[in-house]
Copies of this chain bind each other. A is one copy, B any other.
Amino acid sequence: MKNKIGPKDTRIGWIGTGVMGASMCGNLLSAGYKATIFSRTRAKAEPLIARGATWADSPREVAHQADIIFSIVGYPHDVREVLLGDQGVVAGSQPGSVLVDMTTSEPALAVEIAAICTKKRLVSIDAPVSGGDVGAKGGTLSIMIGGDQATADALEPCWRAMGSTWVWQGGPGAGQHTKMVNQTLVAAGMVGVCEALVYGHRAGLDLERVLQSVASGAAGSWSLTNLGPRIIAGNFDPGFFVEHFVKDMGITLAESQRMGLQLPGLELAARLYQEMVALGHGRKGTHALILALAKLSGVAWEDRQ
């Protein structure tokens, strides 16, 4: 596939209209694409249908009506079901169609899907994203792309509608592996931000003033600048759910084990986040990690003066 895939040439399919998927598909509609959509919960697809998208009753039906089928669902087993199941995309696709899975999922599953697609003369791309609900809504996601490079290039008009950064990272699974790199960075960074704020609080410092000293130098990070003030304010509304992050770190650790890697920082973060779920914080934002870390030190973060 060498030509760019513009809105006039192409029938889009979209599977999964959760917080991320609804905004991303919406941005494709805004760019002029026609879409056929499916989601486990039809109600979540209604706003897109109201904007002209066509409903289909299964991923398989979506594939019948589309040349490029995007998916962004919850867990790897959901990816397996919507792509490879009886009522899945592969079962309904015509040769030449392109499958683009944007779920954060297992690199090995991306490789498996790519191999199955090749046999059926389909092309598959793995393209997980970072940037959260804000990036999805604003079309400023970073899209990490694995799979056939020419296809990735041809999809540029679609990437442009959804993201501000899109980089082809290599063959099948390379997009997923890059996302794992991203999550490893986020995990360690969040542990650091939360421990630093627990320390500063116990030392009696004014934490907002501390941020003025530390945020712009060698200690600075996106997490500190964007989530530090929310942590200090005790606002744990989710930008990204703890329970989804636990899933991502589980995938990263499983892949690490498979590759013979020891990542003690990531292992620690995963343990702390699992503790968060056990404490009932799974639907809070990832920066609520401070609740578990403060508790370790006997600090009731939300009740502190």
Interface positions of A (Cβ within 8 A of B): 107, 130-132, 135, 142, 144, 165, 167, 169-170, 174, 177-178, 180-189, 191-193, 195-200, 202-206, 209-210, 212-214, 216-224, 226, 240, 252, 255-256, 259-266, 268-269, 272, 293, 296-298
| From B203, B224, B297, contact of A180 by CB (8 A) | B203
Q: In the complex the two chains form, what is the Cα distance from A298 to B256 in whole Å? A: 13
* Copies per assembly: 2
User: Chain B residues with Cβ under 8 A from A135's Cβ?
Assistant: 217
A selection of 20 A-B contacts at a CB cut-off of 8 Å is A107-B203, A132-B218, A142-B214, A142-B217, A144-B214, A165-B213, A167-B213, A174-B204, A174-B205, A177-B199, A177-B200, A188-B189, A188-B191, A189-B219, A191-B264, A203-B255, A218-B223, A218-B240, A220-B221, A265-B265
| From B197, B222, B265, contact of A221 by CB (8 A) | B222
Q: Contacts A214-B142, A264-B268, A265-B268: A181 and B196 contacting too (C-beta < 8 A)?
A: yes
User: Chain B residues with Cβ under 8 A from A293's Cβ?
Assistant: 263
Q: Determine if A185 and B262 form an interchain contact, defined as CB atoms under 8 angstroms apart.
A: no
Q: Determine if A144 and B219 form an interchain contact, defined as CB atoms under 8 angstroms apart.
A: no
Q: Determine if A178 and B214 form an interchain contact, defined as CB atoms under 8 angstroms apart.
A: yes
Q: Determine if A181 and B210 form an interchain contact, defined as CB atoms under 8 angstroms apart.
A: yes
